[in-house]
């Protein structure tokens, strides 16, 4: 399969690529959106993912991939503008609103999304999901953090260790 | 030629099973990325979550420590010497853990310290930072030095002492200059030669903020570094009726004299705006004001002086911006004065020479 439009995809009709999730669902998206993934970018630049081939993603299931692609499609235009120096405040506010809504999700979905963002190396998404988890634990007590992140309740030994830690790092518990 | 992304993806530590989809199971580097987005207190609290998490907070690659993080929340800021000293001691202890973390393989990308001028503690910090630099563990250093006495409580003598403490820190840790990218100094009265020496040594400096810093009457601040990397410069001053002098190597000397008063400030977006706000807050908060009239009179005076200030600040800004932009890569320049008309007219300010050869 020849590399279409000399691989640039900047002129003419938008080039499409196909991604295949771990459960064999095929997703067709614009190359520009999929290229937000550092992992996929080189393959796509080399002309991969077009036609009937598709790029298999054995680590990402279809539910997660569709969520990831929702993010990529929304963010692709701004990324294409090189960080969007000429984006209007309205555009930026809209992206921010989208981002806030986007991570307003169940923890299991959030977990899958974190792993997918990491595997696919989508920088903006990695930062967004890390920020979400950070906001979930910021300023909370150790017990609250435990419950938020799904750690089991502490054993007596762990409790003793927590107390010792609290004495040693008193300033962190003020 | 079709390259499969499979290979690169297999090399990632991405083991996760559907029944274990919990954030507590995330791989180390993702946990560290998360911890870099919380305050240092929260990060330290997570070290009791599990054996695996115990050392993770110490492996951050972007570390940001402020004296305030280590102070009890209800302590009145910048007032109690003992509280500040204890906070600095705790900061030094934690910094030691960060630098000496046994499992640290990645270097510290950015170490950002906002500390108070307590000579003994600064000495410890200097040693730690220099050790980290020598071991190649530190890439970029950002330093902010605050003073125990606020601007309004400081005498000329205090200001001179602050400058001496700063010079002492830099003289005993000269290696910090090779990593120092951002510097914030306040409330210090430097000897002209010291200031010149300090600013000239900062070969990697990109971002400089000077708040209420001076070199005595009619002193000149000089940054004489060939190919200076300075990109952001902020100067906050209070100098009623004192001439501003600008030395610019391609323009020569420009003498401008302004009477500046209670400037609420041509607030710059970040640091400048914040500091001006603090200064105004302090002024409103019952700092003794000599020679102010009835409240009504004062309000009028403030308005008039603000207007004068705004014009002067705009002029300063345009002169500096135009001149610097002509021959350096300076991108941001902020100038402002704090509300200071009630203060002794004691400052001479804002003298810069930035040469690019």
The per-residue pLDDT for range B106-138, each reduced to its tens digit, is: 789 999 999 999 999 999 999 999 999 998 999
The whole-number pLDDT of residue B184 equals: 94
Length of chain B: 357
Alpha-helix residue ranges (DSSP H) falling in B175-291: 192-201, 271-284
pLDDT(B21) > 50:
yes
The whole-number pLDDT of residue B316 equals: 52
Instruction: Quote the mean pLDDT of chain A.
Output: 86
Q: What is the pTM of this model?
A: 0.71
The whole-number pLDDT of residue B85 equals: 92
Tell me the shortest Cα–Cα distance from A138 to chain B, in angstroms. 6
Instruction: Quote the mean pLDDT of chain B.
Output: 66
Q: Do A119 and B16 touch (CB under 8 A)?
A: no
B2 inside 8 A of chain A by CB? yes
> Which residue from A114, A138, A146 is facing B30, i.e. has the nearest CB?
A114
Q: Which of A18-27, B80-89, B157-166, B199-208 has the lowest mean pLDDT?
A: B199-208
- Separation of CA B149 from chain center: 17
- Chosen for mutation from A52, A134, A139 (greatest number of chain B CBs closer than 10 Å) is A134
Contact A5, A54 (CB under 8 A): no
Contact B313, B336 (CB under 8 A): yes
Tell me the shortest Cα–Cα distance from A36 to chain B, in angstroms. 14
The whole-number pLDDT of residue B317 equals: 54
Q: Do B12 and A165 touch (CB under 8 A)?
A: no
Tell me the shortest Cα–Cα distance from A94 to chain B, in angstroms. 22
B289 inside 8 A of chain A by CB? no
Rounded CA-CA distance A57/B175 in Å is 48
B5 inside 8 A of chain A by CB? yes
The whole-number pLDDT of residue B110 equals: 95
The per-residue pLDDT for range A116-168, each reduced to its tens digit, is: 999 999 999 999 999 999 999 998 999 999 988 888 899 999 999 999 999 99
The whole-number pLDDT of residue B220 equals: 53
The whole-number pLDDT of residue B149 equals: 83
Please state, in angstroms and as integers, the Cα–Cα distance from residue A104 to each residue in A78, A101, A129, A135, A136, following that order. Answer: 22, 5, 10, 12, 11
Question: Dmax of chain A from CA atoms?
Answer: 66
Tell me the shortest Cα–Cα distance from B92 to chain A, in angstroms. 13
Q: Of B61-70, B307-316, B348-357, where does the model show the most confidence? A: B61-70
Q: Which of A5-19, B115-129, B271-285, B333-347 has the lowest mean pLDDT?
A: B271-285
pLDDT interval class at B216 (50, 70, 90): low
Q: Which residues of A touch B95 (CB under 8 A)?
A: none
Better-scored residue on pLDDT, B113 or B246: B113
The whole-number pLDDT of residue A134 equals: 96
- For A15: left if phi > 0, alpha if psi spans -120 to 50, otherwise beta; the answer is beta
Q: Give the angle B306-B308-B310 at the CA atoms, nearest 5°.
A: 65
The whole-number pLDDT of residue B100 equals: 84
> Which residue from B26, B44, B87 is facing A169, i.e. has the nearest CB?
B44
Q: Which residues of B touch A162 (CB under 8 A)?
A: 48
B345 inside 8 A of chain A by CB? no
Rounded CA-CA distance B311/B318 in Å is 11
E strands, chain B, in order: 62-66, 108-116, 138-146, 180-189, 207-214, 232-237, 244-248, 252-256, 332-337
Rounded CA-CA distance B357/B352 in Å is 16
The whole-number pLDDT of residue B207 equals: 82
Contact B265, B335 (CB under 8 A): no
CA-nearest of A21, A132, A76, A151 to B30 is A132
Structural domains in chain A, CATH included, are 13-138 (3.30.710.10), 140-174 (no CATH)
> Which residue from B12, B21, B33 is facing A111, i.e. has the nearest CB?
B21
pLDDT(A70) > 90:
yes
pLDDT interval class at B318 (50, 70, 90): low
């Amino acid at each position: 399969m020849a590399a279409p439009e000399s691989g640039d995809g900047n002129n003419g009709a938008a080039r499409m690529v196909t991604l295949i999730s771990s459960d064999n669902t095929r997703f067709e998206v614009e190359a520009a959106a999929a290229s937000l993934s550092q992992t996929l970018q080189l393959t796509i630049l080399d002309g991969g993912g077009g036609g009937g081939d598709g790029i298999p993603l054995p680590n990402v299931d279809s539910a997660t991939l569709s969520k990831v692609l929702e993010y990529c499609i929304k963010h692709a235009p701004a990324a294409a503008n090189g960080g969007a120096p000429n984006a209007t405040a309205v555009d930026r506010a809209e992206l921010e609103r989208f981002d806030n809504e986007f991570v307003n999700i169940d923890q299991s979905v959030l977990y899958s999304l974190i792993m997918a963002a990491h595997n696919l190396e989508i920088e903006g998404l990695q930062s967004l999901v890390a920020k979400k988890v950070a906001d979930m634990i910021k300023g909370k007590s150790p017990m609250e953090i435990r419950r938020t992140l799904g750690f089991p309740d502490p054993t007596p030994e762990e409790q003793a260790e927590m107390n010792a830690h609290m004495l040693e790092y008193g300033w962190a518990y003020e | 030629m079709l390259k499969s992304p499979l290979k690169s993806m297999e090399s990632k530590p991405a083991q996760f099973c559907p029944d274990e989809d919990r954030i507590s199971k995330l791989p180390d580097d993702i946990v560290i990325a998360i911890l870099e987005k919380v305050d240092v207190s929260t990060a330290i609290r997570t070290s009791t979550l599990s054996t695996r998490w115990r050392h993770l907070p110490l492996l951050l690659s972007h570390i940001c420590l402020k004296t305030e993080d280590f102070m009890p929340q209800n302590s009145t800021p910048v007032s109690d010497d003992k509280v500040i000293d204890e906070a600095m001691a705790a900061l030094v202890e934690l910094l030691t853990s960060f630098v000496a973390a046994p499992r640290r393989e990645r270097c510290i990308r950015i170490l950002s310290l906002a500390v108070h001028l307590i000579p003994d503690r600064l000495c410890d910090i200097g040693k730690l930072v220099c050790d980290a630099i020598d071991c190649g563990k530190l890439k970029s250093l950002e330093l902010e030095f605050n003073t125990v006495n606020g601007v309004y409580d400081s005498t000329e003598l205090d200001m001179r002492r602050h400058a001496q403490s700063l010079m002492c820190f830099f003289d005993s840790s000269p290696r910090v200059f090779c990593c120092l990218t951002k510097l914030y100094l306040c409330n210090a009265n430097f000897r002209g030669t010291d200031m010149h020496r300090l600013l000239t040594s900062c070969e990697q400096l990109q971002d400089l903020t000077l708040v209420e810093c001076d070199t005595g009457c009619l002193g000149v601040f000089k940054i004489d570094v060939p190919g200076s990397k300075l990109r952001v410069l902020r100067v906050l001053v209070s100098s009623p009726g004192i001439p501003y002098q600008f030395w610019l190597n391609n323009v020569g000397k420009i003498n401008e004299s302004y009477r500046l008063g209670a400037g609420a400030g041509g607030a710059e977006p970040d640091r400048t705006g914040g500091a001006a706000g603090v200064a105004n807050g302090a002024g409103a908060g019952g700092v003794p004001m000599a020679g102010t009239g009835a409240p009504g009179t004062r309000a009028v005076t403030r308005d008039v002086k603000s207007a004068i200030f705004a014009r002067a600040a705009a002029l300063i800004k345009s002169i500096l911006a135009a001149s610097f932009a002509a021959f350096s890569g300076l991108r941001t320049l902020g100038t402002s004065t704090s509300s200071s008309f009630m203060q002794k007219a004691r400052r001479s300010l804002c003298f810069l020479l930035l040469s690019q050869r």
